Amino acid sequence: MKLDKVTTKRDRWYDDACGTAHALELVGERWALLILREMMLGGRRFGELRASLPGISANILTARLAGLARDGIVQRRNLPPPASAQVYELTDWGYEAEAAIQALGRWAARSPDHDATLSFSAVSLMLSLRTMHNPDKAKGLDARIGFILNNDRFTGHLTGVGLSVERGESAAADVSFTSTPPIMAGAIYGGVPIAALEADGLLSIAGNRALAERFVTLFPLPTTTVRAPSLPSTSQPPVG
């Protein structure tokens, strides 16, 4: 099932044949790329998308979904009974954008202005783990990792090759974490000891304790780039 037909002709912002220019025409509007991010692990209801992007209005979300559907990136599907609800999900081509989202995330994480303490969604955390997975640190591992993050549940399959993630809990998980996305990120990216978070009641662990301790070390952030010196403030053109 597709979204209702959108007849509005696409605006060409750049009149440029470069693929990068067209990519910005497809997903460069505010919120568009984050909406794609939230659907990377499966279809989401309208209300779920709004909840995961608290700064977006219903009107903007509706407009962005319609534009992404027009361009063949998103589609709408009716869930079978007893759910009898509609979800928005990526098309096969839409899912291919994950590589671009990962590359942008890794690149931007090196910015000296990147603030890792800001809030973010559970899907954002899962995708960041897929992006920052370090094969050398994860060498020899083959484990299932469970996550309960607020109302979201995921199971990851961790190997030295990568981390695959699916929605839902798994009874076969070797270790499970229960927390919130920002607290979990503090343990993984901020170096906050998980024992301290447990003591404060902010995180709980079930299963293989040694694996939990190792897991939070497997996703190093890239080195922050050095900020370039400011250009001199002058109205005169440079000489030479």
Q: Of 49-63, 88-102, 220-234, where does mean pLDDT reach its minimum?
A: 220-234
Are 161 and 135 in contact by the 8 Å Cβ rule? The answer is yes
More confident residue, 116 or 102: 102
Are 144 and 168 in contact by the 8 Å Cβ rule? The answer is no
Helix, strand, coil shares of the chain as percentages rounded to 5? 35, 15, 50
Tell me if residue 160 falls in helix, strand or coil: coil
Average pLDDT in the chain: 90
Average pLDDT in the 202-220 region? 96
> What whole-number distance in Å separates Cα of residue 75 and Cα of residue 89?
6
Helices 122-132 and 98-108, interaxial angle, to 10°?
Answer: 80
| Alpha helix positions (H), 117-163 | 122-132
More confident residue, 186 or 226: 186
Tell whether the torsion through CA atoms of 120, 188, 127 and 215 is positive or negative.
negative
The tokens for 35 are 């909406």
> What whole-number distance in Å separates Cα of residue 20 and Cα of residue 93?
16
Are 74 and 89 in contact by the 8 Å Cβ rule? The answer is yes
Q: pLDDT tens digits for 131-188? A: 999 999 999 999 999 999 998 999 999 999 999 999 998 889 999 999 999 999 999 9
Instruction: Please name the residue that has the structure tokens 């910005």.
Output: 24
> What whole-number distance in Å separates Cα of residue 52 and Cα of residue 50?
5
pLDDT (0 to 100) of residue 235: 57
Q: What is the pTM of this model?
A: 0.85
Q: Of 25-39, 78-92, 185-199, where does mean pLDDT reach its minimum?
A: 78-92
